[in-house]
Amino acid sequence: MPDYCKHHTGAVINTTIRLFTHTSLQLREDGRVSFYWVNKEEFEEHDFGNDLDCSYGLKLFKATHNHICKRFKLEPFGYDIITWQDVPTGSGLGTSSTLIVSLIGVYTELFNLPLGEYDIAEMAIQIERVELAENGGKQDQYAAAFGGWNYMEFKGDDVVVNPLRIKDSIQDELENNIVLYFANSTRNSSDVLEEQVKKMRDKNKTSTLSLHALVEQAKLIKDCLIRGNIDDLGEILDYGFQQKKMLAKGISTPEIELLYETALKAGATGGKISGAGGGGFMFFYCPNNTKYNVIKELDKLDMGYHQPFTWNKFGMRTWQIG
């Protein structure tokens, strides 16, 4: 929340999982460019230019193209870009930010651009948050660029990424105990965040106190992971989820509440909605092999599906053949 970080230090715990945005760039000889987002079945083709119209359609693709071409003064060339994402767009797993990072990645690989992880994350933020004026934070772009477990701090325009050294046994147990569940709905995170942004600009006291609590939650989770006290995680997540719901009306819904209460009754000790809220993925901490009963009871509701996952220690990776 940029308005929060103007006056306070924000903090999150973030990690990456092996669900990806896959982006490919293939050169062509006719000086035209095309973008194809397979999941949404959206396709656009244009003459090469550095001022493609971003008011409609595949805005993320065109804005990234414009930014790269202007910044690095690229000569006209033709290419096709195709993107596929392993999870639905707008599902709370950073799909838009990850998409922009992957788009920057293919240009960086093709032209050998001098960009490190911080540069890529900041460029993605500039494109999404400034040039396209989409509401949201910075953690998704940094997570996609860096990968792995990180404790991130935000103060003003400064971002500090602190990699966390978590024992393999702790990571394995976490992987075993966390249920990732898709709530069968997606949303535009920028729309969900609009009320939160307004409240922060209006210096709403309740919102500020809730964000203070979420910063404290990040610190508690960091301590929990480093010390290996992971069965405390459910209670900490539940505390954070209750605080997060106070930020705006659209964060939780009756459907989300039903899923959450069902998971708790089945053995989960806490959880949260991912991303901005309003729909998408939820995750639950389920100690002592309670996850099997949690998944069974959630499936009975017929409101979504269990999404298996594993941790991923890498951020954006690129390569080229030929």
CATH of the domain at 282: 3.30.70.890
Task: Kindly state whether residues 302 and 187 are assigned to the same domain.
Answer: yes
Q: What is the per-residue pLDDT for 72?
A: 96
Cβ-contact 307, 126 below 8 angstroms: no
- Is 299 considered catalytic here? no
Per the structure, the complete domain to which residue 181 belongs is given by 167-306
- Say which CATH number the domain at 116 has: 3.30.230.120
* Beta strand ranges found along 121-198 (DSSP E): 150-155, 158-163, 178-182
What are the distances in angstroms from CA 254 to CA 52, 261, 278, 279? Answer: 41, 10, 10, 11
Structure tokens at 156: 């003003």
Are 179 and 141 members of one domain? no
Nearest to 136 by CA among 175, 65, 191, 80: 191
Ramachandran category for residue 83: left, alpha or beta (phi over 0 → left; psi -120 to 50 → alpha): beta
> What pLDDT does residue 200 have?
64
CA distance 141 to 96: 9
State the pLDDT at residue 47.
96
Mark whether 124 and 173 lie in a shared domain.
no
Half-sphere exposure of 80 (CA within 13 A, CB side): 9
Q: What does the alpha-carbon distance between residue 100 and residue 60 come to, in Å, rounded to a whole number?
A: 7
d(CA 94, CA 139): 9
Residue 318 lies in a domain: no
Say yes or no: 252 and 132 in one domain.
no
Choose one of 147, 177, 194: the last residue of a domain: 147
Check whether residue 204 and residue 266 sit in a common domain: yes
User: CA nearest 151: which of 15, 284, 2, 56?
Assistant: 15
| DSSP code per residue over 100-134 | HHHHHHHHHHHHT----HHHHHHHHHIIIIIIS--
- DSSP one-letter string for 219-269: HHHHHHHHHT-GGGHHHHHHHHHHHHTTS-GGG--HHHHHHHHHHHHHT--
Q: Are residues 171 and 139 in the same domain?
A: no
**155 - beta bridge partners?**
158
For the chain, what is the domain count? 2
Fill in the DSSP letter of residue 17.
Answer: B
Could you tell me if 140 and 177 lie in one domain?
no
Do 214 and 181 sit in the same domain of this protein? yes
Phi, psi of 315 (to 5 degrees): -95, -145
Are residues 89 and 137 both part of a single domain?
Answer: yes
Catalytic-role residue among 30, 53, 140, 299: 140
pLDDT confidence of residue 187: 58
In a domain, 262, yes or no: yes
User: Is this structure's pTM higher than 0.85?
Assistant: yes
pLDDT mean for each 10 residues of the chain (322 residues)? 88 96 96 96 96 97 97 95 94 93 97 96 96 91 97 95 96 96 74 64 78 94 94 95 84 92 98 86 96 98 96 96 82
Query: CA separation (Å) from 230 to 1, 165, 166, 167, 189?
Result: 27, 14, 11, 12, 29
Per-position DSSP letters for 81-98, written without gaps between them: EEEEESS-TTSSS-HHHH
Q: How far is CA 162 from CA 116, 167, 183, 211, 222, in A?
A: 16, 16, 31, 20, 11
